Chain A
């Protein structure tokens, strides 16, 4: 069977395969390159509209404060001050924020240190996880039970009112769990009426009957919708609050069903961040009064224009159960608001007497400042004219565009339906520790890599260099991919995954080389042994890698943060090692040994 006269040329790759290989490697190498340079600490100044700020001004201020800057870049309304010394970052921010308080919003940032020609290609350094950069991380729990409960209160009030209006007696309404209430009545007729009422007025609630009891449940899809709305809205609130903290690279994302993960790189003092995150919001409706009125207080609206309102609000936001933006007649944007029974009564009484008069909606936020003192900030978010007497469900029109209506609905819910959030996890990693983790991780990578390279070179003399080239190409590709994939973050366990990949990636080559050895021992020529060796090793390599891939995928989908980083490098490492171990090393071997028909060669 040892045919030398094959019709198909042995061990030859088509030219396009080489081009593909070279292109892939070059692209990923370029993508990996900026990570080599790392990132410099920087301070970003976002110039406010109608204000101006020049590079010279900033330079002057920094010089006076004795802070050295590497360079100052201007991009439209943003100025970026890149610093030499990471320790100066906080001080520079403080100095600049004090000096240019009115001109610009000052935030901490990071700037890639790679040369411009490289950055102009659109490549970016690998994003580092919090365990490598230092910073604060919070995990917030959004309490959804209260949201469901508020909804249940709304329905229960409505049922009670319905029963009263219809003069039905002997009906008991009770709450059981968050999203369920039960109605007891001995009369079949009464239950039928209530069932019909719920079906018409609150279709998102499902009614099931058992003897004399009706169970009214919020439907699963509605629960999911409410959960999503609540968490989305909390995310929104957190994002805008963190913006005020002045951290550009902050990460606010949903985790699981009702958790929010907040990562604040560079922040060292969790107390300040906690005050901002833990702030509570509330909402109130005020009658708008004349400026000279005895009971007038002044509040500012979003354009900083004063609005005079009565001291006493019509009702507080705690009466609001739901607010949603919809499209009304003629395509106008409007916001539907639902109040609880008590709120409905207050609003109904007030609006009856004040038709045609304006009513203002005020949004307040309570937060604690750095001294731990509670402070309240209030602004008017809308002023609307009362058109008719309002009940417990009414709508506000004239809120502006659809987007603004959405925003208003969000704020309205924020003051009411917002579920309370609690911080369930808090981690602070000092910047020195983050830097130490990077150094340790990469030292381990360097040692592991060089030991493996040395071992492979000694063990498979003739073919060892192929495995080593493949291994290095593998690492380059891996770094390139990590920088390229959006959302990919390198963490400390991620580096551990890289190191592990180095050890395991050579397996592909080992399997192939062992097969080639075997085939040579059977008396084949080198070229033919290479051909058969690669072919027979493939299914084994695939099987072996596939199972590790399963664990990587499972880890990635179930794990979080650092563990996801590990799963990512492990999984990507498998893919790149297949590519380099099979494809790239075959290409190399074909070029060099493809025509070698000698027998009894030692590899």
Chain B
């Protein structure tokens, strides 16, 4: 089945070349900027990673943070962070754990001067060593996933093509991380899960284009790589938009309705899908071209008779 016939003439797609180069440059610039942001600002690690105590309480709507704060700070002898939760009257208190149970003040007693019903909605105490382990485990998970993916990519694709997908992947993860560094939103376990999902999603996008490039390289060996890239992007563009669109829709639904516990997750996914789409059609497809991908790399197919 030879399908050399195509509706797109190579000239018509030339505008894409410029666009691709420009967007790749932007991607690289953004990535460098992201790395700087991460380096400078660092992360606001969540309880899962740092250890400590987080308690969410429900009190009367009229009570403000400035009433809770001094009571907590005095009782726990440390700077207690009091953050407003999603609904009025809900507060998230976060402080370092006091290891000796006998000296741990009872929350209800501490807040008794407020003269209100205190309803503890949830509370988490995480020991410091557990947090430390999670940081290691999380890092390990990312690393193992990356290695597995690299293994699979190098097995399925020629290395130049694979490196494009891989670079796009790193780009997306770095960008999402930079957002969390910049906004100082809490980086917790669900955000880590989102980062892992972004790994998968970003790759998904890049692979679909890489698949197309490979297919065209085999089908049109006489074409130059620039045109093949343009054609691959153009012919997968509608799919890229539809899938990114539906995934974005669902992530936005999660963002709007999922409530506070899933907020970090949805935001991370949202940004990840945007940059994932962007990088797969810019740097992901362009890098192999710079690395000198040629049609020959996929022309070794006619192996003489099998033994």
A: which residues have CB within 8 A of B?
1, 131, 139, 141, 422-430, 432-433, 436-437, 440-441, 443-445, 447-449, 451-452, 455-456, 459, 492-493, 496-497, 499-500, 502-504, 506-507, 510-511, 514, 517-518, 521-522, 532, 539-540, 543-552, 554-555, 558-559, 562-563, 566-567, 570
Contact = CB atoms under 8 A, between A and B. Distances in A.
Nearest to A555: B196
A4 B129 CA distance: 69
27 contacts: A426-B125, A426-B126, A427-B124, A428-B123, A429-B121, A433-B121, A441-B259, A444-B250, A444-B253, A444-B254, A444-B262, A448-B251, A452-B246, A493-B262, A496-B265, A500-B251, A507-B204, A521-B7, A522-B5, A540-B211, A548-B201, A551-B196, A551-B200, A555-B141, A559-B141, A559-B193, A570-B197
A539 B5 CA distance: 22
A447 B253 contact: yes
Contacts of B152: 546-547, 550
Contacts of B124: 425-428
B261 A500 contact: no
Contacts of B119: 430
Contacts of B199: 551
Contacts of B212: 540
B243 to A, nearest CB: 4
A23 to B, nearest CB: 29
B235 interface: yes
Nearest to A515: B239
A427 B123 contact: yes
Contacts of A492: 261-262
Contacts of B123: 426-428
B200 A552 contact: yes
A554 B148 contact: yes
B231 to A, nearest CB: 12
Contacts of B249: 448, 451-452, 455, 503
Given A425-B125, A447-B253, A455-B245, 4 more contacts: A427-B124, A496-B254, A552-B200, A554-B144
Nearest to A259: B130
Contacts of B141: 554-555, 558-559
Nearest to B138: A558
B246 A558 contact: no
B1 interface: yes
Contacts of A500: 197, 247, 250-251, 254, 269
A443 B249 CA distance: 14
A191 to B, nearest CB: 39
B203 A547 contact: yes
Contact of A544 (B208, B245, B265): B208
A441 B258 contact: yes
Complex A-B, nearest 7 residue pairs according to Cβ-Cβ distance, in ascending order: A548-B200, A448-B250, A503-B250, A503-B247, A424-B127, A448-B253, A440-B259
A425 B204 CA distance: 36
B1 A425 contact: no
Nearest to A502: B250
A440 B261 CA distance: 10
Contact of B201 (A443, A496, A504, A549): A504
Contact of B149 (A427, A455, A547): A547
A361 B107 CA distance: 43
B197 A428 contact: no
Contacts of B236: 514
Contacts of A543: 156, 207-208, 211
Contact size class for B? 35 or more
Nearest to A426: B125
A444 B257 contact: yes
B111 interface: no
Contacts of A440: 257-259, 262
B129 A451 contact: no
A432 B58 CA distance: 11
Contacts of B251: 448, 499-500, 503
B65 interface: no
B145 interface: yes
A546 B149 CA distance: 9
B247 A424 contact: no
Interface string B126-149: 110110000001001100110011
Given A547-B149, A548-B200, A503 B246 contact: yes
Interface in B39-69: 56
B3 interface: yes
B242 to A, nearest CB: 5
A558 B258 CA distance: 25
A447 B257 contact: yes
Contacts of B238: 514, 517
A499 B254 contact: yes
A497 B236 CA distance: 26
A555 B190 CA distance: 11
Contacts of A448: 249-251, 253-254
A440 B249 CA distance: 16
A514 B239 contact: yes
Given A510-B239, A511-B208, A540-B207, A563 B201 contact: no
A518 B235 contact: yes
Interface string B1-42: 111010100000000000000000000000000000000000
Best-surrounded residue of B120, B145, B152, B254 (most CB of chain A within 10 A): B254
Contact of B207 (A493, A544, A551): A544
B98 interface: no
Best-surrounded residue of A447, A514, A550 (most CB of chain B within 10 A): A550
Given A459-B242, A514-B238, A555-B196, A131 B261 contact: yes
A425 B144 contact: no
Contacts of A436: 259
A328 B190 CA distance: 54
Nearest to B3: A522
B145 A444 contact: no
Contacts of A444: 250, 253-254, 256-258, 262
Nearest to B189: A563
B243 A562 contact: no
B110 interface: no
A437 B261 contact: yes
Nearest to A507: B243
A440 B239 CA distance: 30
Contacts of A449: 250
Contacts of B137: 558-559
A503 B248 contact: yes
A427 B47 CA distance: 11
B222 interface: no
Contacts of A504: 201, 204, 243, 246-247
A429 B122 contact: yes
Given A1-B2, A503-B247, A424 B129 contact: yes
A428 B123 CA distance: 5
A214 to B, nearest CB: 33
Nearest to B137: A558
B203 to A, nearest CB: 4
B192 interface: yes
B53 to A, nearest CB: 9
Given A447-B253, A500-B197, A558 B140 contact: yes
Contact of B193 (A425, A426, A566): A566
Best-surrounded residue of B2, B127, B153 (most CB of chain A within 10 A): B127
B130 A452 contact: no
Contacts of A555: 141, 145, 193, 196
A502 B254 CA distance: 11
Best-surrounded residue of B125, B129, B266 (most CB of chain A within 10 A): B125
A131 B5 CA distance: 56
A430 B148 contact: no
